[in-house]
Amino acid sequence: MDQFFNISVITDNFTYFMIGRFPHGPLGGVGLTLYLAVVSCILSFFGGMFLGLLSISRFAIVRYPTLGFINLVRGMPLLMVIFWMYFLMPALFGKIAENNTVIMALTLFTSAYMSRIVVAGIEGIPKGQTEAAISTGLTSWQLMLYIVLPQGLRNMIPSFVNQFVSLIKDTSLAFIVGVSELTHVATQINNRTMAFPTEIFIFIAVIYFILCYAFTSLSRWLEQRLTWVKAI
């Protein structure tokens, strides 16, 4: 058994897998993966809302550039977005920590996808609601803020959670610019120990799976629950 699946390489490095060199050094491993995912998720919620609202603006001069930008980002691989950020940001703003570069890239990328969710959520609100709001004299901003978004956002929640799952998976790409999240930590340990790549990569695959599956299940549960609430 020990030859086939060497468990000690996992147990010996377990803390390193989980939190990197924290608290004596920077956070790494699963901790950093979750940190990157959570921060990017919160930022891209606002980014997605912003892009989504602009992309259904009444003014063509706002709408078309926004749609163009969204499609540009959605047409690119995430890796490309990360490289763009990695090379463009320092040229524009001077030195930026790799963690923040990755957060910016993930935020930009996910915002483009979230904007589609926001638009779908807004379009899912029955037209009667909008008409009723306008006839009671609300301005278009009040209509959005008090009538459409509160209802729309609730329907978007499962999709947002799915997007968060994608983000957890996408953080593995931070490896490429040397951010020491879980995948990077795994390659480090793999390079150091040399002999146990199978064990290491199966182990981190299982960790990712547990994280993602938990949130996928949450999203399914929310979806059922929300339909149930709506049915009443």
Partner 1 sequence: MLNYTFDWSIITSGKYFDWLVAGLITTLKLSTISIVMAFLLGLLIAVMRMSNSKPIRWFAHAYLEFFRNTPLLVQIFFWYFGSYKILPTAVNDWLVSTNFEFAAAAIALTIYTSAFIAEDIRSGVLSIPKEQMEAARSAGFSYLRSMQYIILPQAVRITIPPLVNQFLNVAKNSSLAMTIGVMEMTYQARQVESYTFKGFEAFTAATVVYLLLSILITALVNAYNEKVLNIHKAA
Footprint on this chain of partner 1 (rule: CB under 8 A): 4, 71-72, 74-80, 83-84, 87-88, 91-92, 165, 168-170, 172-173, 175-176, 183, 186-187, 190, 197-202, 204-205, 208-209, 212-213, 216
Query: Cα-flanking dihedrals φ and ψ of residue 97, to 5°?
Result: -60, 145
Smaller CB distance to partner 1: residue 9 or 49? 9
- Nearest approach in angstroms of CB 41 to partner 1 is 16
**Cross-strand pairs, 20:** 27
In angstroms, what is the minimal distance from the CB of 122 to partner 1? Answer: 14
Return the number of the residue (46 or 213) whose C-beta is nearest partner 1: 213
Nearer to partner 1, 45 or 208 (CB): 208
Cβ atoms of 172 and 181 within 8 Å: the answer is yes
Q: Which of 187, 176, 173 is nearest to 16 (CA)?
A: 187
Nearer to partner 1, 138 or 212 (CB): 212
Quick one: 153 or 218, whose CB is closer to partner 1? Answer: 218
Distance CA 32, CA 182 (A): 7
Min separation Cβ 150 and partner 1, Å:
25
Closest CB 120 distance from partner 1, rounded Å: 13
CA distance 77 to 42: 21
CB of 81 to partner 1, least distance (A): 9
Coil vs helix vs strand at 119: helix
